[in-house]
């Protein structure tokens, strides 16, 4: 077992019992739940409406996101060291304008694929899981979930170990080396930068305002609303839905008249059936923390990982 997998699996042990309870409660809910949290926000992404902003160099949701978050983008210190024991590092600072995938400088992008004779555009960003495995896996509060439902990484304390990306079924968070707290604590021993992902503009949601991706969408393909309202809308929509079972449910809901199995097949074929970092699939997934083997391993070696993590953060 390599260093990443050791920490990845052992860290799960900190939250194993809590995760089991959370997952059980989530799976028992249905669309008619009377306990829908009035403060929680959900979003609908309608693939029948999204046209990828054809005619524009950059989709408006992507350009709006980049503009709104540019102050939060990493400013790495050069030269960037490799992270032990690897002989490489992840550096996107020289390719900040890449909008073809998720990067630390591009928190949302639009995937286009051909399904039968139709071109389908799929805006991709963090799914903001109801019970995010990335948060459960990391035991020191670096990843939080707001009452509105936004999952956020604390950039000031993230070590860039990429455990959150390992735990994410879609491998959403992306790492930028040469930035972060690890440079001041253990630059040659731990971490590797900071992880970045869409924070759903939780500051705007807290003020009751709309995220810029919705505001700038010319086709109204992206809509945010209260959980109770979105659940009611989903219940009456006869199209295919991607969210109800994925990873114990997510804040982001995709709706399409085309089956998501066909969309996912087209995505995989586009990349020759080889996983591409920063370009998520749309497979049916379950929360990885549900796997008994992972939890058993985590419980066994969690104390050792705890000591290691605390030592690295001193």
**Structure confidence by residue, pLDDT tens digits, 213-247:** 999 999 999 999 999 888 888 888 999 999 866 66
Q: Which of 238, 276, 251 is nearest to 200 (CA)?
A: 251
CATH of domain 3-313: 3.30.70.20
Token pair of 57 as six digits: 């160099």
Segment 132-160, tens digit of pLDDT? 988 877 766 799 999 899 999 999 999 88
> How open is the CA angle 276-73-4, to the nearest 5 degrees?
50
- Mean pLDDT of all residues in the chain? 81
**What pLDDT, on a 0 to 100 scale, did the predictor assign at position 86?**
79
Domain range annotation of the chain: 3-313
Reference 74, options 97, 102, 105; nearest CA is: 105
Closest CA to 294 of 113, 135, 167: 167
Q: Residue 235: how many CB atoms within 10 A of its CB?
A: 10
């Amino acid at each position: 077992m390599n260093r990443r997998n050791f920490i990845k699996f052992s860290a799960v042990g900190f939250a194993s019992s809590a995760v089991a309870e959370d997952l059980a409660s989530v799976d028992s809910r249905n669309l008619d739940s009377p306990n829908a949290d009035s403060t929680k926000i959900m979003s609908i992404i309608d693939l029948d409406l999204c046209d990828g902003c054809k005619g524009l160099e950059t989709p408006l949701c992507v350009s709006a996101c980049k503009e709104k978050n540019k102050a939060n983008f990493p400013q790495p210190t050069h030269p960037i060291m490799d992270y032990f024991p690897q002989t490489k590092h992840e550096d996107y600072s020289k390719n900040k304008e890449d909008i073809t995938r998720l990067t630390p400088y591009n928190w949302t992008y639009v995937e286009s694929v051909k399904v039968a004779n139709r071109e389908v555009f799929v805006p991709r960003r963090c799914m903001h899981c109801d019970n995010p495995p990335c948060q459960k896996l990391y035991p020191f509060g670096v990843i939080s979930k707001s009452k509105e439902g936004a999952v956020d990484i604390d950039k000031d304390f993230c070590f860039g170990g990429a455990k959150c990306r390992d735990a994410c079924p879609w491998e959403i968070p992306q790492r930028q080396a040469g930035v972060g707290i690890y440079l001041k604590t253990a630059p040659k021993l731990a971490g590797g930068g900071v992880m970045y992902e869409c924070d759903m503009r939780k500051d705007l949601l807290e003020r009751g305002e709309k995220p810029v991706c919705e505001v700038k969408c010319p086709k109204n393909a992206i809509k945010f609303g209260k959980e109770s309202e979105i659940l009611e809308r989903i219940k009456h929509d006869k199209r295919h839905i991607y969210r109800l079972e994925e990873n114990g449910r997510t804040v982001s809901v995709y709706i399409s008249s085309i089956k998501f199995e066909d969309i996912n097949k087209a995505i995989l074929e586009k990349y020759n059936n080889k996983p591409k970092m920063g370009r998520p699939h749309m497979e049916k997934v379950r929360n990885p923390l549900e796997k008994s083997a992972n939890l058993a391993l985590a419980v066994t070696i969690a104390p050792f990982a705890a000591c290691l993590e605390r030592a690295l953060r001193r």
